[in-house]
Amino acid sequence: MVSMRERFLITNLKGAVTPDPARAWAVDFIPDAALAVEEGHILWMGRRHDLPAEYKGAPILDGRGRWASPGFVDPHTHLLFGGDRSQEFNRRLHGATYAEIAAAGGGIKETVRATRAASVGELVAIGAERLGKFRHKGVVHLEAKTGYGLDLDTEGRLLAAYAELKSRGWSLDVTLMPGHDLPPEFAGDPDGYTRIVSEEWQPALVKRHPGVARFCDVFVERGVFTADQGRAMLESGKRLGLTPRIHADEFCSTGGAELSAQVGAASADHLMFASDEGIRAMAAAGVVPTLLPATTLFLGMKDYAPARKMIAEGCAVALASDFNPGSCACIDPLLVLRLACLQLRLTFEEALCAMTLHPARSLGHAHLGHLHPGASASFLLWDVKHPLDLVYWMGEAFLPEIAGLPR
Ligand SMILES: [Zn+2]
């Protein structure tokens, strides 16, 4: 393998496909492409016969007739949790309702119990295995939340585990989310929980784990937290230097999209029931609507997010996995890409932007999500006749090679 530090060329590519960061929603398909790479970054990308003289003579990596694309960026995962909920999944198939499962101590409570019982070392091992699966499928960077501890101690252990994963070289952004649900200790008292999270826990967690979390998040939904409670937790995060993201309007409209614009959130996520005013507010404020179609599929719901309306209003829509044990036990970026085309009615080009450039922007990374000069050299090589094959042959488990990173 060629060292990523030296300058080298990748040629013999069937083509390269990439969003253009300078033009909204533009995707270029460049046949017979070549890329010049140095120090882990792309110096030049274009048609091979246009290669500038200065790059000729560099060592060559054989593209073996494959297509290059940017690596996927996943801007919404709940990476770290203990246990799983496959038994509950089958109980639902046998006809049990969410309320019955929750009354029997299942649902998110089960995950909180398992996560509270896990040591930092166990959480790191779980996280490394899952990150390996994401990378295997072409995800080169992802966002990962806390939120299955719901107490000061466990939320801190989750941050410590994320810090360890980052120190091992995994490329991820961490989001602090004690406002994921109401813990059993605060049953019936969401105002009290909002207060302790905003005034005590978040400041203490950021102080004990400086620089680990970059974002904060909260679940604004009927029966979870109101927009005002969400606002209090997000404003507390902002005072600590964190940028808000929001779980908004997943099961009904409770003003989550509007709140995301008011607090200057980087993203508002889910949005199946976002109001028209909320969509316009996100567009005006530059909030990235982040859609999670695999969750809609996993929950057996019919209402996919109104992606076309968001694009028509000028939103830079992004896609994410929402990987979590309750509503989307799925590490499969191609499934998300396919659902975006088949259910959200995005074109292939739009879906590619939403899997790469737009999530990278919502996470503040100009070097991810495209193949133009300055981009990270951790791009994907696909053994396909054309990138459209990734969606069209919808049952195929295409696996990319990630240039510069081990599989
Ligand atoms: Zn989520």
Distance CA 187, CA 399 (A): 45
Banded model confidence at residue 1, pLDDT cuts 50, 70, 90: very low
Is a pLDDT exceeding 60 seen at residue 146?
yes
Sorted by sequence, the CB contacts under 8 Å of residue 212 that are 6+ apart come out as 159, 162, 163, 166, 174
* Residue 397, in any domain of the structure: yes
What stretches of 298-396 adopt beta strand conformation (E)?
318-319, 380-382
Name which residue leads in pLDDT, 100 or 125: 125
Q: Per-residue pLDDT tens for 168-178? A: 999 999 999 99
What is the mean pLDDT of the segment spanning 203-223? 96
Q: How many domains does the chain have?
A: 2
* Residue 407, in any domain of the structure: no
Is a pLDDT exceeding 70 seen at residue 385?
yes
Is a pLDDT exceeding 50 seen at residue 225?
yes
CB 13 within 8 A of CB 67: yes
pLDDT, residue 340, reads 98
Alpha carbon of 384 to ligand 1 centroid (Å): 32
Alpha carbon of 152 to ligand 1 centroid (Å): 20
Which of 249, 96, 80, 108 lies closest to 175, judged by CA?
Answer: 80
Alpha carbon of 67 to ligand 1 centroid (Å): 32
Q: Which CATH number do you get for residue 248?
A: 3.20.20.140
Distance CA 230, CA 236 (A): 10
* Beta-carbon neighbours within 5 Å of ion ligand 1: 322
Alpha carbon of 290 to ligand 1 centroid (Å): 10
* Residue 2, in any domain of the structure: no
| In a shared domain, residues 30 and 148 | no
Q: Which domain holds residue 192?
A: 72-362
| In a shared domain, residues 172 and 53 | no
| In a shared domain, residues 264 and 334 | yes
* Residue 1, in any domain of the structure: no
What is the mean pLDDT of the segment spanning 100-128? 93
CB 246 within 8 A of CB 262: no
* Residue 44, in any domain of the structure: yes
* Residue 3, in any domain of the structure: no
Q: Per-residue pLDDT tens for 59-104? A: 999 999 999 999 999 999 999 999 999 999 999 899 988 778 878 8
- Phi–psi pair at 331, nearest 5 degrees: -115, 90
pTM for this one?
0.96
| In a shared domain, residues 280 and 259 | yes
Alpha carbon of 323 to ligand 1 centroid (Å): 7
Alpha carbon of 390 to ligand 1 centroid (Å): 25
| In a shared domain, residues 339 and 191 | yes
Banded model confidence at residue 355, pLDDT cuts 50, 70, 90: very high
**25, two tokens:** 């929603």
Please tell me the total number of residues recorded for the chain in this structure.
407
Is a pLDDT exceeding 60 seen at residue 24?
yes
Alpha carbon of 322 to ligand 1 centroid (Å): 5
pLDDT, residue 236, reads 98
Banded model confidence at residue 407, pLDDT cuts 50, 70, 90: very low
Alpha carbon of 79 to ligand 1 centroid (Å): 10
Q: Mean pLDDT in the chain?
A: 95
Alpha carbon of 225 to ligand 1 centroid (Å): 14
Cβ atoms within 10 A of the Cβ of 125, count?
A: 13
Banded model confidence at residue 406, pLDDT cuts 50, 70, 90: very low
What is the mean pLDDT of the segment spanning 110-120? 97
**Which amino acid belongs to residue 91?**
R
Alpha carbon of 218 to ligand 1 centroid (Å): 9
Sorted by sequence, the CB contacts under 8 Å of residue 398 that are 6+ apart come out as 334, 382, 383, 384, 389, 390
